[in-house]
């Protein structure tokens, strides 16, 4: 916690010079003392992680940062049905029986009832042990299920750390999960989310992060109104309103009313950007025309991909520019945030997809678009701010 009463955790890309090991492997000893958060595609493609210590004695874990969900959970010992494989770099699997500060959450508690209602679970309880059960589902069809508990959460390093006692989380004993991290930290807008549990120890209700690409620090801050929720079913997420979109300064050939029919969820736990089909297909057409002028060949099949003539290396400085206009703010995306670099060399694919490929009817601004941007969620002023090239 800094002098202003805020928690501060650096986010380092796996190629950052402060990380001794240039390989994608993350070792607990290299991050636990610094409270570091790291992007590591070996553990989970396109995700960013935060180091936490849970229980007494403390167990180190790397968990994914997710502003699109609320309940935090970690992989626990005594898997009951099926559990994903946890990478050694993500820490040891948490065993609640080994923690002297762990307590289960009772079936009739307010926390149990709230979590059930928010996640569409009519009832879930082990009555003889008075233990509340949970299940959390993600738009990608992944899920985690297990027992709700409380324990001591430590954040930061040996010289500067903060403790959150009675931290509410899920002890996962059954999941379908594609990554190898220890679990997920939910930053969504519910009382039991990681963000709101930690925010009780601060004097201002705001969240900021920066997922790095490079190591520069410059750029003006842009501010757009922040909207809590996305319809009735997604009341916990953070949304913004898109107004327009341009490729090389030219507006897309699409009815402007399509932009305002839906809001856009800002989700750090999703990699790609999902936009409504009419906007996507207009964007795809504009990008294809711009790329063909630069000598790229459009592939048709799985995704919107382009190959340079003769397999030459991609000139990232010569790729089309993309701008996304929101209320009072225009997000100018660097090419690295627009395309995925693919194999073989000279092949790149758009990081944009129609929302029919994700959660149908839900537009999502994934973390790919916001890498190297400092993102500030100010829940007191109800604004979302972007600062380009901040990390």
**Residues with active-site annotation:** 66, 267
Among the listed residues 210, 283, 255, the one whose alpha carbon sits nearest the alpha carbon of residue 50: 210
Strands (E), 177-268: 183-186, 206-210, 221-225, 227-230, 234-240, 242-247, 250-251, 264-267
> Is residue 274 a contact partner of residue 357, using CB atoms and an 8 Å limit?
yes
> Is residue 306 a contact partner of residue 291, using CB atoms and an 8 Å limit?
yes
Q: Locate tokens 């903060």: which residue?
A: 162
Strand order of the β-sheet with 264-267 is 227-230, 234-240, 264-267, 363-366, 273-275, 352-354
Q: Locate tokens 């944009």: which residue?
A: 352
CB atoms inside a 10 Å sphere around CB 99: 18
> Is residue 154 a contact partner of residue 57, using CB atoms and an 8 Å limit?
no
Q: Radius of gyration (Cα) for the chain, nearest Å?
A: 21
Question: Are β-strands 363-366 and 242-247 bridged in parallel, bridged antiparallel, or unpaired?
Answer: unpaired
Q: How far is CA 333 from CA 87, 314, 319, in A?
A: 33, 17, 11
Is residue 194 within a helix (H) or strand (E), and if so which, with residue range? helix 194-199
């Amino acid at each position: 916690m800094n002098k202003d009463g805020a928690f501060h955790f650096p986010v380092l890309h796996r190629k950052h010079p402060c990380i001794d090991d240039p390989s994608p492997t993350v070792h607990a000893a290299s991050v636990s003392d610094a409270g570091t958060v790291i992007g590591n595609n070996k553990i989970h493609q396109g995700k960013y992680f935060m180091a936490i210590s849970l229980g007494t004695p403390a167990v180190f874990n790397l968990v994914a940062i997710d502003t699109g969900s609320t309940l935090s959970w970690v992989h626990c010992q005594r898997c009951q049905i099926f559990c994903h494989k946890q990478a050694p770099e993500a820490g040891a699997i948490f065993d609640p029986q080994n923690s002297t500060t762990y307590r289960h959450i009772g079936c009739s508690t307010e926390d149990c009832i709230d979590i059930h209602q928010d996640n569409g679970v009519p009832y879930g309880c082990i009555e003889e042990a008075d233990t509340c059960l949970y299940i959390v589902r993600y738009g990608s069809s992944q899920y985690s299920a297990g027992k709700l508990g409380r324990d001591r959460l430590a954040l930061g390093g040996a010289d500067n750390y903060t403790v959150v006692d009675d931290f509410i989380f899920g002890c996962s004993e059954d999941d379908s999960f594609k990554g190898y991290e220890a679990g997920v930290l939910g930053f969504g807008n519910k009382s039991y989310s990681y963000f709101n549990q930690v925010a009780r120890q601060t004097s201002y209700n705001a969240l900021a992060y920066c997922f790095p690409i490079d190591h520069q620090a410059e750029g003006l801050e842009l501010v757009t109104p922040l909207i809590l929720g996305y319809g009735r079913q997604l009341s916990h997420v953070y949304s913004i309103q898109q107004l327009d979109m341009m490729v090389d300064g030219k507006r897309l050939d699409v009815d402007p009313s399509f932009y305002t029919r839906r809001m856009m969820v800002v989700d750090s736990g999703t990699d790609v950007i999902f936009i409504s089909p009419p906007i996507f297909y207009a964007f795809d057409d504009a990008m294809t025309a711009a790329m063909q002028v630069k000598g790229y060949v459009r592939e048709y099949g799985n995704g919107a991909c382009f190959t340079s003539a003769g397999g030459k290396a991609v000139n990232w400085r010569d790729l089309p520019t993309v701008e996304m206009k929101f209320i009072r703010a225009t997000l100018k995306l660097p090419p690295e945030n627009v395309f995925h670099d693919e194999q073989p060399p000279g092949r790149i694919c758009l990081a944009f997809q129609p929302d029919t490929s994700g959660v149908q009817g839900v537009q999502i601004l994934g973390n790919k678009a916001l890498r190297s941007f400092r993102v500030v969620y100010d829940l007191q002023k109800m604004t979302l701010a972007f600062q380009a090239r901040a990390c």
